[in-house]
Amino acid sequence: MTDDSHALSLSSTPPSPPAVATDGTWLACIECGETFAPFEAIRYTCDGCTGLLEVRYADVPTFADFSGRGVWRYNQALPLDSGVTSQEGDTPLYRVPRLEKSIGVAALRIKHEGMNPTGSFKDRGMTVGVAVARELGVERLACASTGNTSAALAAYGGRGGMETLVLLPAGKVAAGKIAQASLHGARILEVDGNFDTCLDIVQELAARGEVYLLNSLNPFRLEGQKTIGFEILEAFQAEYDAWPDRIVLPVGNAGNTSALYKAFRELVQAGALEPDDVPRLTGVQAEGAAPMVEAVETGASAVERWDEVETRATAIRIGNPVNAPKALPGIRETGGTAIAVSDEAITAAQRDLAEEGIGVEPASAASVAGLRKLREQGVVAADERVACLTTGHLLKDPDAAAAAGRDPEPAPADTDGILELLEDDSGLGQ
Ligand SMILES: *Cc1c(COP(=O)(O)O)cnc(C)c1O
Ligand SMILES: [Zn+2]
């Protein structure tokens, strides 16, 4: 299909439907353009060239086509009309006046994806992915996970009445996430290796037909995650009658970066968004796990896998971002960038957000840490309106929160003793 030669560019011509019957929805390879019917067989990558697959639609909707609530409000832009749902989406877009002022941008909003049912944006992808799994008639769902995907998979798989299996890097997953996966009934295998090794194994299991893969390599999951972009754009229109200049987000496997870019491309294709108005996609990684940043900085056409990764932001402790071929064009075409931040800067941003009443896990705070650094470097301008994505809830990683917060103090069990303690301190109201 010649139409797909510049498939991942904002100015690409709309794809024409393939010859096979597809009901207006099909899968296309982003590398060679080969197309496949969406639900006739299970596939995650191109049969011919092993390139990543993307869902395509004969008709892409405009904003006027959206109605209802949550992720399924956008079903005109999704491969199915309804899903296995827990009322995901519709997350708050918080004002943060103190942070906005100290970072120094015209407007800063925090899209808190930690407010989804299981506490991360993964729910948006899983409501669609699990519905597709049901459509395909599979029984056992699986993922490799730094934690949040496993929590969402276990919960949504349970809701859909399906068996769930998760592979986790042993000792590197936050306590709240394991507790969720466990109670929602997933079989949890702790692998003596990092996330990338876990994903290699699950991909192999999926290739052998043992499990249905629900990592973000699954093109249907990313469709659900597009709705973050729709919600942010609609909210900025409602408040400012303008689009956000920039969206800043933490990057692990770069699924969200790819999904947001796809949402924008489809809106451009539908004539609902001008190419010049597309927000600059800005990815943030931890210094100890920054292969995407490296590729953006060196101008490389592909990301090189990091074998050793480390950061306290365990959700983005990933050395081989599988969606990089979809995400890199997104960062480049939108005029965005990528930046690495230290673990100390991540914790500082986590405290800054917490002071404004917004509780996030470390990986989430990377977006705010990255924005601050880019503003200090002058890459982000003072007149920009910015949305930062916070991807997961504070309670996901209680240990990190306790370590970043104030220590509890031992206290006597009587009022006078408590008053004495408070007087010893620097005084009330401090
Ligand atoms: C999954 C996850 C990420 C990484 O998202 P990608 O789409 O893989 O880049 C970031 N933060 C949190 C909290 C996550 O759970
Ligand atoms: Zn291909």
pLDDT digits (tens, 9 = 90+) for 261-300: 999 999 999 999 999 999 999 999 999 999 999 999 999 9
Is pLDDT at 8 greater than 90 in this prediction? no
Residues 182 and 110 reside in one and the same domain: no
| pTM assigned to the model | 0.95
Count of structural domains within the chain: 2
Angle at which helices 362-376 and 343-355 cross, to 10°: 100
Residues 396 and 364 reside in one and the same domain: yes
Residues 163 and 192 reside in one and the same domain: yes
Residues 108 and 250 reside in one and the same domain: yes
pLDDT, tens digit, for every residue of 346-359? 999 999 999 999 99
Residues 245 and 355 reside in one and the same domain: yes
pLDDT, tens digit, for every residue of 105-159? 999 999 999 999 999 999 999 999 999 999 999 999 999 999 999 999 999 999 9
The widest CA-to-CA distance across the chain, in whole angstroms, is 82
Q: Which is the closest atom of ligand 1 to the Cα of 318?
A: 8
Instruction: Using the 3D structure, point to which of 172, 189, 221 is the last residue of a domain.
Output: 221
The CA 132 to ligand 2 mean position distance, Å, reads: 22
Cβ-based burial of 2 (10 A; exposed 0-12, middle 13-18, buried ≥19): exposed
| Residues above pLDDT 90, as percent of the chain | 93
Select from 202, 270, 258 the least CA-distant residue to 66. 270
Q: Which is the closest atom of ligand 1 to the Cα of 256?
A: 7
Tell whether ligand 1 has an atom less than 6 A from the beta carbon of residue 150. no
Residues 103 and 229 reside in one and the same domain: yes
Tell whether ligand 1 has an atom less than 6 A from the beta carbon of residue 169. no
Tell whether ligand 1 has an atom less than 6 A from the beta carbon of residue 258. no
The CA 324 to ligand 2 mean position distance, Å, reads: 16
273 lies in some domain: yes
Residues 214 and 306 reside in one and the same domain: no
Q: In terms of residue numbers, what domain contains 192?
A: 122-221
Tell whether ligand 1 has an atom less than 6 A from the beta carbon of residue 256. yes
Average pLDDT over residues 77-88: 97
For ligand 1, atom 8: residue with the closest CA? 253
The CA 213 to ligand 2 mean position distance, Å, reads: 19
Average pLDDT over residues 408-423: 96
Instruction: Using the 3D structure, point to which of 165, 187, 221 is the last residue of a domain.
Output: 221
359 lies in some domain: yes
Tell whether ligand 1 has an atom less than 6 A from the beta carbon of residue 391. yes
Tell whether ligand 1 has an atom less than 6 A from the beta carbon of residue 116. no
pLDDT higher for 289 or 7?
Answer: 289
The CA 382 to ligand 2 mean position distance, Å, reads: 42
**Average of per-residue pLDDT values in the chain:** 95
Q: Which of 391, 393, 395, 397 to mutate to test the pocket of ligand 1 (most atoms within 8 A of CB)?
A: 391
Query: What is the Cα–Cα distance from 113 to 228, expressed in whole angstroms?
Result: 8
Residues 126 and 112 reside in one and the same domain: no
Q: Which of 112, 116, 120 to mutate to test the pocket of ligand 1 (most atoms within 8 A of CB)?
A: 120
The CA 45 to ligand 2 mean position distance, Å, reads: 8
Select from 267, 266, 265, 261 the least CA-distant residue to 247. 261
Identify the pLDDT of residue 1: 38
Instruction: Using the 3D structure, point to which of 187, 221, 255 is the last residue of a domain.
Output: 221
The CA 35 to ligand 2 mean position distance, Å, reads: 8
For ligand 1, atom 4: residue with the closest CA? 252
Identify the pLDDT of residue 430: 44
The CA 50 to ligand 2 mean position distance, Å, reads: 6
Cβ-based burial of 285 (10 A; exposed 0-12, middle 13-18, buried ≥19): buried
pLDDT, tens digit, for every residue of 298-339? 999 999 999 999 999 999 999 999 999 999 999 999 999 999
* Residue type (1 letter), 126: M
User: Hey, is 172 helix, strand or coil?
Assistant: coil
47 lies in some domain: no
Tell whether ligand 1 has an atom less than 6 A from the beta carbon of residue 151. no
Residue 205 belongs to a domain with what CATH number? 3.40.50.1100
Residues 136 and 215 reside in one and the same domain: yes
Residues 246 and 157 reside in one and the same domain: no
Residues 132 and 279 reside in one and the same domain: no
Q: Is the distance from CB of 386 to CB of 371 less than 8 angstroms? A: yes
Q: Which is the closest atom of ligand 1 to the Cα of 363?
A: 11
Residues 154 and 215 reside in one and the same domain: yes
User: Hey, is 173 helix, strand or coil?
Assistant: coil
